[in-house]
A and B are shown apart, each in its own frame.
Chain A
């Protein structure tokens, strides 16, 4: 019985952790490549969730089928936001660029919840296909279908991102831009376009995560900041800019929180934040980061 409880807790933790990892990967990608800390990352996640909810509610389309659609829509939203808001910051030098991008993200963080409030009201929305409550019992541990699907999708997305960054010409330009955007520009890489696509990709990943937040939990206009903070914890845990590490750190945070919930109850959310502060202060390069 106890063994089963422990196993179930860990499985639940991995389910949640996969989502944390997915959200964090998007944030880490954007921050690592262009040094923009997008504090509105969670807002993009929320919008993604609403888009999937809309498609599900109005056209009765299965959320797993509408995933590519959400990803494309969010990619366009992200690229548009970048073009409109963040690209103008490129003229600032490194430190003030970081700070101003933080402020712009902060402005988006104020604007997005108000717009979603107008479009979808403040009601909690959840995407509930017929199979959403079902689960697969294995050795006394229940594997719920939807989180299992989320885990698989997360793995596929991260694998695809990894291949994109390491095996394609675009990936090469991203890595070059990350290392030194001035040299990359001199070598003939279209830095602006690389930034645009990278930002769009990061936002699209957040949107995909949002679909699963809508499937597993629920979405309302105010969930954004909570998820931004989760993503920040994970990114800092993993070390800034480490994409593979971000996913593992997400899994770790998920399991730690699931186990912590048994002992700490409502204080569990604070647990992750305390871990975040301690790492920021004592090991700023993160658990998997290089010195």
Chain B
């Protein structure tokens, strides 16, 4: 993966890789709170947007990119902890709806206060190059996946999973559920903020309000579910598949069809294939090895 820009500098390949990596960051960050901790937040766009805007404005005002990214991601994490206290009073679908509403409030506020598009200044546009964008995306994606791997093998992750499976039982067996949920929310939002930061470094022009649109949440949720919720490889497979389908379909068909295809796929996964695409392979293999007596 590191060597790709040495082999090819074709813009289409690099764009495709950049997008895939960014979707891996975004969807894996949702996977922490939604997949491992089982709190189906639908307000992920809020943290993506906060990270994106803060990173962009700090960076464009002259600060090093690294500091901008860190500041954006930290703000997203702190914001998550602040709103975590009231919103975690809600459970299950109420939490989902509450966070969705929260992101909508932020979207309306930013759409109204910052209606103008933010475009790179000409000196940046003149030297725009996909290679550093690619490396940054790769670095952060690696960091995200490593963090998720670490979480899934730690007691923190164990606590999160126990909350997902049965919150009352977890509480009864001594798991501090609120603390675990807040931590999961903060880590998840930190990486969502990083995803936003990487995206603003990549996108030459954007509207601030656009960063808070629910579609960021929805893409992440759909990718995680289609790939395999609460797993490490699931969101990666989901993201590769999502971007591939998006790029391929947009060549032949009017835009947006990939969302239709993914929406249908998403419903099928929810109804018939809990566990996502990564569960499909072992299932198929089992069915084939059963040979003549499939049932």
Residues of chain A at the chain B interface (Cβ within 8 Å): 37, 85, 88-89, 95, 98-100, 102-104, 106-111, 114-115, 117-118, 225, 229, 232-233, 266-267, 269-270, 273-274, 276-277, 280-281, 284
Contacts and interface: CB of A to CB of B under 8 A. Distances in A.
Contacts, number: 98
A107 B272 CA distance: 14
A118 B256 CA distance: 10
B264 A99 contact: no
Contacts of B87: 281
A85 B264 CA distance: 11
B93 A273 contact: no
B40 interface: yes
Interface string B17-50: 0000000000000000000000010100000000
Given A102-B40, A107-B270, A281 B90 contact: yes
Interface in B71-108: 86-87, 89-90, 92-94, 96-98, 100-102, 104-105, 108
Interface size class of B (residues with CB under 8 A): 35 or more
Given A98-B92, A110-B222, A281-B87, A85 B97 contact: no
Contact of A106 (B98, B104, B221, B264): B221
Given A102-B40, A225-B214, A111 B263 contact: yes
Contact of A110 (B96, B98, B108, B260): B260
Contacts of A269: 108
Given A107-B266, A229-B101, A284 B92 contact: no
A233 B98 CA distance: 10
Given A104-B270, A281-B98, 13 more contacts: A88-B271, A89-B271, A98-B92, A107-B267, A107-B270, A109-B218, A232-B101, A269-B108, A270-B108, A273-B105, A274-B105, A280-B90, A281-B86
9 contacts: A89-B271, A100-B271, A106-B42, A106-B218, A111-B264, A232-B97, A273-B101, A273-B105, A277-B102
The 3 A-B pairs of least Cβ separation, nearest first, read A110-B263, A107-B267, A114-B260
B16 interface: no
A100 B270 contact: yes
B106 to A, nearest CB: 9
